[in-house]
C-alpha cells in the first residue's frame, strides 16, 4: 500500500517585533487522501539549547496554528512503519553539518533544514521522483504556505485539511504582492524555537533586502 508524504505547516505569529514564520513537520499517511486523521508526524523540536526528535500520530486539525499540508509525493518504497524507522535511525536531532544547497534557504539547523535533508536523501535514492529543481524547494514550500493562508483557487480541500501540491504549476506573478527577503534575514526566529521565518512581506513593507527573481520565487 502506498503512503503519501508531505510537510505540515504551522503558522507562528511573531511577538515583540520578531517576524512570523512557519514551523515544518514531516507527515505521512497510508490513506487515499489527507482527510483521515490522525497521521504520522515527524518533527524536530528545540527545547532550550537541545534539539530532539518527536514522532507521534496527531490530528493536525486540532491545532489552531495549522495552516495546511504541502503534498510532496506518494511512494510504495515505504510503509508508515518503515518510513518512521528510517528517519528515526538515520536522521538524528543533532546537527550533522548538512545545509540546504539552494541560494534561498533556512539559516543553520532548524526544523526545515532537518526535513530538507531527509528529502534530499529521498531524491538521491529515487523515492521522491520529480523534474523540479531541488534547490528551489524551500521557497516553493513557503509560496504554497502563502497560498494555503490565503485559500487561493490553487488550494484543494481534503476533508477539513487544506492541501497545496508541490507538483502544481504556478505561473510567475501568481502572487504579485509577495516578495522575499534574502537568506541573511532569515535568522530572526525566536532563539527557543526551531522554526523558520515566514518569508512573506507585503509590497511596500519589505525590509529593503534583495529579492529572488519572480520566476525563481514561483516555479521550481
Structural domain harbouring 52: 3-218
Q: Average pLDDT of 105-110? A: 93
How many folded domains does the chain comprise? 1
Cβ count within 10 A of residue 18: 15
DSSP assignments along 114-150, one per residue: HHHHHHHHHHHTTSS--SS-GGGHHHHHHHHHHHHHH
Q: Give which of 2, 63, 64 is closest to 28, Cα–Cα.
A: 2
The predicted structure's pLDDT at residue 45: 94
ω into 163 cis (within 30 of 0): no
Q: Give which of 52, 49, 40 is closest to 8, Cα–Cα.
A: 40
* pLDDT above 80 for 216: no
What does pTM read for this prediction?
Answer: 0.78
Q: Average pLDDT of 76-83? A: 95
Can you tell me the distance from the alpha carbon of 39 to that of 186, in angstroms, rounded to the nearest whole number? 30
pLDDT digits (tens, 9 = 90+) for 161-207: 999 998 754 433 333 333 333 332 232 333 343 444 444 422 222 22
Written in H, E and C, the secondary structure of 17-70 is CCCCEEEEEEEEECCCCCCCCCEEEEEEEEECCEEEEEEEEECHHHCCCEEEEE
Cβ count within 10 A of residue 61: 13
* pLDDT above 80 for 96: yes
Q: Give which of 37, 57, 56 is closest to 160, Cα–Cα.
A: 37
Amino acid at each position: 500500500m502506498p503512503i503519501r508524504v508531505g510537510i505540515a505547516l504551522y503558522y507562528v505569529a511573531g511577538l515583540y517585533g520578531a517576524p512570523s514564520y512557519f514551523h515544518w513537520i514531516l507527515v505521512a499517511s497510508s490513506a487515499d487522501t489527507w482527510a483521515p486523521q490522525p497521521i504520522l508526524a515527524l518533527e524536530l523540536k528545540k527545547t532550550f539549547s537541545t534539539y530532539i526528535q518527536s514522532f507521534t500520530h496527531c490530528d493536525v486539525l486540532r491545532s489552531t496554528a495549522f495552516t495546511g499540508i504541502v503534498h510532496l509525493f506518494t511512494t510504495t518504497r515505504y510503509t508508515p512503519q518503515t518510513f518512521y524507522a528510517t528517519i528515526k535511525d538515520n536522521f538524528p536531532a543533532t546537527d550533522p553539518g548538512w545545509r540546504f544547497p539552494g541560494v534561498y534557504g533556512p539559516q543553520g539547523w532548524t526544523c526545515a533544514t532537518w526535513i530538507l535533508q531527509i528529502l534530499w536523501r529521498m531524491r538521491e535514492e529515487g523515492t521522491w521522483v520529480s523534474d523540479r529543481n531541488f534547490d528551489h524547494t524551500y521557497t516553493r514550500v513557503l509560496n504554497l504556505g502563502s497560498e494555503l493562508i490565503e485559500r487561493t483557487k490553487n488550494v484543494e480541500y481534503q476533508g477539513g485539511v487544506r492541501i497545496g501540491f508541490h507538483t502544481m504549476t504556478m505561473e510567475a506573478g501568481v502572487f504579485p504582492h509577495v516578495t522575499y527577503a534574502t537568506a541573511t534575514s532569515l535568522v530572526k526566529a525566536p532563539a527557543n524555537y526551531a522554526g523558520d521565518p515566514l518569508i512573506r512581506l507585503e509590497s511596500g513593507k519589505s525590509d529593503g533586502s534583495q529579492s529572488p527573481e519572480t520566476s525563481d520565487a514561483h516555479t521550481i
